[in-house]
Amino acid sequence: MDYEVMMNGIVKVGQIAPDFEATTTMGTIKLNDYKGKWIILFSHPGDFTPVCTTEMIAFANSHTYFEERNACLIGLSVDSNSSHLAWIYDIYCRTGIIIPFPIIADRNGEIARKYGMISNSVSNTETVRNVFIIDEKGVVRAFLVYPMELGRCIPEILRMLDGLQTSDRENAVIPANWTNGKPVVNRPPKTFSELQERVTELEQSKNGMSWYLSYK
């Protein structure tokens, strides 16, 4: 395997998420154990750092919203499990907030490199702020990459999760700036006869701009 590919990962949207077994703050986990649930796998640069601490608190405060969507949060950094435990205990002591999801101790960076979480132009060891949204079948549906200096927007991650789940459920696509409960867009016609049917539907419903942009 090419060294650069091996070091930086080849995870792409639409592929099966690479399985792993890892030590976490909640014991040993395997990714495949989560089949049937959506997964939000996210990395952070380091424990006991300011932005990462705000993110952990934000994810913890939003945990029930992910649970309502059949989604599990899994954190990761290259810090040790003992460091993770000390950090989340310090958060608890200072805020009363319990971190209700596992944080992976990826000491050798094996998982981080497999998923391309380490940007060698930024750091050869620390992860940047990656988010992978993996569906209930284990398929990578989306990913986000934030730089070390910018904390994540949890509502946007929830919006993406809602959008993907709505798209699957409604067999539709999701327009710009969509939020949960707003109209979704019909998939474009694939044949001329389907195009003609869409035109007829639009003439009756007036629910769209053209045959290629209409709302459900």
Catalytically active residues, by annotation: 52
**Which of helix, strand or coil describes residue 95?**
helix
Q: How far apart are CA 130 and CA 115, in angstroms?
A: 9
Closest CA to 86 of 47, 58, 52, 50: 47
CB contact burial 166-177 (16+ within 10 A = b; e otherwise): bbeeeebebeee
Q: How far apart are CA 79 and CA 50, in angstroms?
A: 15
Residues 6+ apart with CB under 8 A from 44: 52, 55, 56, 75, 76, 77, 127, 129
For residue 166, give both structure tokens: 């709505």
| Long-range residue pairs from 93-96, CB within 8 A, at least 24 positions apart, any chain | 95/57
